Amino acid sequence: MFRGFYTAASGMVAQQRRQDLLTNNLANANTPGFKADQASLHAFPQMLLSQLGGKEVGGKTIPTKNQLGTLATAVYMQEAVPAFRQGDLQETGNNLDIALLQGAVPTDEESGAEGALFFTVQNGQGEVRLTRNGNFSLDEAGNLVTANGDFVLDTNGDPIQIEGTEFTMDSNGVIRETGVQMNVGLVQNPNLLMKEGNGLFRLEEEDGLVPATDDPNVSYQLKQGFVERSNVDVEQTMVEMLSAYRTFEANQKVLQAYDRTMEKSSNEIGRLG
């Protein structure tokens, strides 16, 4: 009885967390460069149910065990994994907006995951972070910065400085007026990335990021005056939210049924005496 009670409760918790994840995706459907999270649901190890009994053989009782099947004990949401597929490009006409259009990238040999490309930026603590949000601006010193104020880095790891917004950049990220090239980093196994919020990612291991600018196995284009839109599929997300709600509701009804059964048992068993 209690095993089923906790199994239904764990299903409700898992679907609630999935709903929160989908809600966050939907809220960022218009955020440039946002990468939608995907929920990974897993069941706890299943239990093998057996029926113990006995049969008479030659006047003696021999114990028997009949396997009835398996029972799933609970479910949980193990992790949220970002999907790094390319988002659509939107033209803005703003020279400071740069979209990263990913082409061919190598696949990680160990994990089998396809690599992903990112702009490299530097936060206020001097730490390197990654982003696909190319909605840039200029600070008071003429540095190219993200919406959070993080410095956009060049291939030497230095902040990019621009004199005014009237500049041109080619498809390789080279600013024609200064010859400075924007740094694009390759992460061969993007599953190792951790989301920090505000469109930023960080790597647990520093050697997981390699330059993509001179790699012959990598192809990409930088498009000035464009931003990469979020890769959230709004229609699919709403369908999944409805599915999560209905699954939550079904587990809730099972939980209520268990509760009524236990209430009836506790109230009526005593009367039998």
At 2-31, the pLDDT tens digits run: 677 788 888 889 999 999 999 999 999 999
Give the mean model confidence (pLDDT) for residues 143-169.
91
> Same domain, yes or no, for 8 and 70?
yes
List pLDDT tens digits, range 177-208: 889 999 999 998 888 888 888 899 998 776 67
**What pLDDT score does 46 carry?**
67
> Same domain, yes or no, for 218 and 250?
no
User: How many CA atoms does the CB half-sphere of 244 hold within 13 Å?
Assistant: 20
> Same domain, yes or no, for 153 and 201?
yes
Residues in Cβ contact with 40 at an 8 Å cutoff, skipping those fewer than 6 apart: 77, 78, 79, 80, 81
List pLDDT tens digits, range 205-237: 766 788 898 888 899 999 999 999 999 999 999
Q: Indicate whether 238 pLDDT > 80.
A: yes
Give the mean model confidence (pLDDT) for residues 125-152.
93
**What pLDDT score does 168 carry?**
92
How many domains, in total, are found in the chain?
A: 2
Q: Which domain holds residue 102?
A: 89-228
Alpha carbons 17 and 14: distance in angstroms, whole number:
5
> Same domain, yes or no, for 244 and 209?
no
> Same domain, yes or no, for 209 and 138?
yes
